[in-house]
Amino acid sequence: MTEAVLIAGPTASGKSAAALALARALGGMIINADSMQVYRELRVLTARPDAADLVAIPHRLYGTVPAAEAYSVGRWLGDAAGAIAEARTEGRVPILVGGTGLYFKTLLEGLAPVPEIPQETRDLWRERAATLAAGELHRELAARDAVMAARLPPSDPQRIVRALEVIDATGVSLADWQGTAGSPILKDDAVLKLVVAPERDAIYAAIDARFDRMVEQGALEEVEALASLRLDEGLPLMRALGVRELAGHLAGALSLEEAATKAKTESRRYAKRQMTWLKRFMADWEWVPNGDSAARTAERIGF
């Protein structure tokens, strides 16, 4: 028996529209599996569902976390498990949709049982990260945990800090903790797994059109409000697609046209990275070119 539908895909691929169509057809509940759409402050710029969609179909885990928090995959896994249970209680099909491949991976494989890191240790490394360059943090990690340092690029301070927190607090490499699988939330053979993946040119065109639409719908005002919070630049939402470029325009460093061009380019690069990840880790999923194909696939397996 198929217990849930999982819909992955690169940004602007149409996976959210596919989830809506399936939810209407199946009596489903849509559960967010995108690491940026969990945040409250950027509804437009992260392409969260609009008010009409939220009224028409039950949605969970959208816009629930303030930008000042660093939401983790472990926290999402617990929240997703709760939402899946809620859907089942209500007799609805859980439909998980998003572009964060790691969320789906942990949903089906479980999460390594890394112990809770003491707050004082977390604060210590956040303070160090605020004063040290990412390359210096990476060199410190290499001295203490060569395995994790080899896995992480020097340009990824957030994950470097996480690795340092874990080795500091537990004396055990994060690589070793990750080698111990936790319990999956869903069984791999009990779900319909779809990747919505249009042709590259179609994705790029959708990215460009969507960003222009976002600007028209208030993305610039969202970034201005976010900037007024004066948050740590290392927080996840501060690295959302388009934030840096629109902030540059607001600061007078870029024209709006230049900011839009840069943001579209970064979004295309991000979509390319997503596709590389999907091809590596989701090659055995059912790949469809658009939302209509996703709906037909669901019908074919008997939903």
Give residue limits of the domains in the chain.
4-111+182-300, 119-178
Dihedral sign for Cα 279, 234, 156, 184, please. Answer: negative
- pLDDT, residue 2, reads 75
From first to last of its 303 residues, what are the pLDDT tens digits of the chain? 678 999 999 999 999 999 998 999 889 999 999 999 999 999 999 999 999 999 999 999 999 999 998 888 888 999 999 999 999 999 999 999 999 998 999 999 988 788 888 888 999 999 999 899 989 999 999 999 999 999 999 988 889 999 999 999 988 899 888 877 778 999 988 999 999 999 999 999 999 999 999 999 999 999 999 999 999 887 889 989 999 999 999 999 999 999 999 999 999 999 999 999 999 999 999 999 987 787 777 766 656
Secondary structure percentages of the chain, helix, strand, coil, to 5: 55, 10, 35
Q: Check residue 163 and give its pLDDT.
A: 94
Residues ≥6 apart with Cβ < 8 Å to 169 = 115, 117, 118, 121
Which residue, 62, 24, 22, is CA-closest to 297? 22
Residue 64: phi, psi to the nearest 5? -100, -10
Task: Locate all alpha helices (DSSP H) within 184-287, ordered by sequence.
Answer: 200-216, 219-228, 243-250, 256-281
CATH 3.40.50.300 is right for the domain spanning 4-111+182-300: yes
C-beta pairs of 173-178 under 8 Å, 24+ apart in sequence: 173/145, 173/147, 173/148, 174/114, 174/145, 174/148, 175/145, 175/147, 175/148, 175/151, 177/112, 177/113, 177/114, 178/112, 178/114
Of the candidates 62, 73, 59, 77, which has an alpha carbon nearest to the alpha carbon of residue 19? Answer: 59
Residue 15 tokens read as 């996976």
- The class level of CATH for 119-178 reads mainly alpha
The whole-number pLDDT of residue 204 equals: 97
Sign of torsion, CA 6 282 274 40?
Answer: positive
**Residue at token pair 């996703």:** 294
What value, to the nearest 5°, has the Cα angle with vertex 31 and ends 107 and 37? Answer: 100
Report the sign of the C-alpha dihedral through residues 263, 265, 269, 271, in that order: positive
Instruction: Give the pLDDT confidence score for residue 299 in this predicted structure.
Output: 67
What's the CA gap between 52 and 83, in Å, rounded? Answer: 21
Residues in CB range of 148: below 8 A, 6 or more apart: 141, 163, 167, 173, 174, 175
